[in-house]
Amino acid sequence: MKLTDLATLQPTYSELGATAGPLPDGYHHVRKSAVIGHGRARFDEAAAKVMRWGMLRGAGVRVEATTDVAAVGSEVLVGIGPVRAPCRVVYVIEEADRRGFAYGTLPGHPESGEEMFAVRYDPASGEVYAEVVAFSRHGTWWSRLAAPITALMQRIITSRYLTAL
């Protein structure tokens, strides 16, 4: 699959944008965060990195994208080992104290669902948090067959996302 092939594909799930609120039933849910530093400068640095696919690349995920900075509609091919997983950015967070984006799965991705990557600044404490929110279920016969392995991989990669910044 090539990056240019993704433009005509439709998402493999109907709950677009659901990582921004209550997560939908019928999926595995992930909500993880970790303190990654302190201060507005640290927030700005981490936010810039997140928006340039830094949580993914820092976790060891290969990233090919149609844009250098995450934007609504950016198409992305993420790769772990031999697996290449197509996604599209469905929303971007551009708030004073929170920045990030969410992408959703496209046909050919082993899972079906959405994942949000963000950083948050807490003005009261000065702490900066990395955040990952996701909902997913198996999207292929082989991901269902390899369920114990894919669940372990998801836990490992989520931890790596948080430490990538």
User: In terms of DSSP bridges, do strands 111-121 and 75-80 run parallel, antiparallel, or are they unpaired?
Assistant: unpaired
List, for residues 49-89, the tens digit of each pLDDT value: 999 999 999 988 999 999 999 999 999 999 888 878 899 99
* 150 inside domain: yes
Give the domain CATH number at 117: 3.30.530.20
In angstroms, the Cα distances linking 59 to 21, 63, 77, 140 are 25, 11, 15, 24
**Mean pLDDT value of segment 134-143:** 73
Report the percentage of the chain scoring pLDDT > 70. 89
* 14 inside domain: no
Burial of 137 (0-12, 13-18, 19+ CB in 10 A): middle
Cα–Cα distance measured from residue 165 to residue 36, given in angstroms and rounded to the nearest whole number: 7
Phi, psi of 140 (to 5 degrees): -135, 160
* 151 inside domain: yes
State which residues form the domain around 91. 27-163
* Selection from 111, 105, 107, 109 nearest residue 147 by Cα: 111
**Mean pLDDT value of segment 110-136:** 95
pLDDT of residue 148: 62
* 74 inside domain: yes
* 104 inside domain: yes
* 93 inside domain: yes
* 9 inside domain: no
pLDDT band at 164 (very low <50, low <70, confident <90, very high): confident
* pLDDT of 91 above 90: yes
**Number of domain units in the chain:** 1
* 83 inside domain: yes
